[in-house]
Structure 1
């Protein structure tokens, strides 16, 4: 039987590329996180990043604090202070009282 001109080949839709690795075995690259893309979404990534292994060390926390203090001093006199000064410092809340 001959195909009609309107018939086309149907291809199976694949949501993930062929090189996506589903199994955890010896050939799986180190650091590979299976099923972290659209299957589980942002909640899984949030859980992973909130793990204690990702918490900053005391040294990193001190460096961040020093950098924030330095930015604060520079921001008052520099261009960054001008840009930050134009922003509102309070959270806007709707007031529906008349």
Structure 2
């Protein structure tokens, strides 16, 4: 029998919304909407522990966009992106 996953306590958010990795990623990438206070609090804790996280996420997003462009250049017009989370607006990639 599996033990239940430990609860993430982020200073007991009063709004009752647990942090979400997709929303935290969105916030770390500069998104101004679609995240909750609990997401920002945990995002700040992540940045304090690993300050390079936002840069790594930006590199990962850039790689994903390059991959899509390469696939499109090869004539692939449809594919499934599983687990993409929330899109984050980025002026360098206006097609997102």
> TM-score, normalising length from structure 2?
0.28
In terms of Rg, which structure is larger? 1
Flag the structure with higher helix content: 2
> TM-score, normalising length from structure 1?
0.28
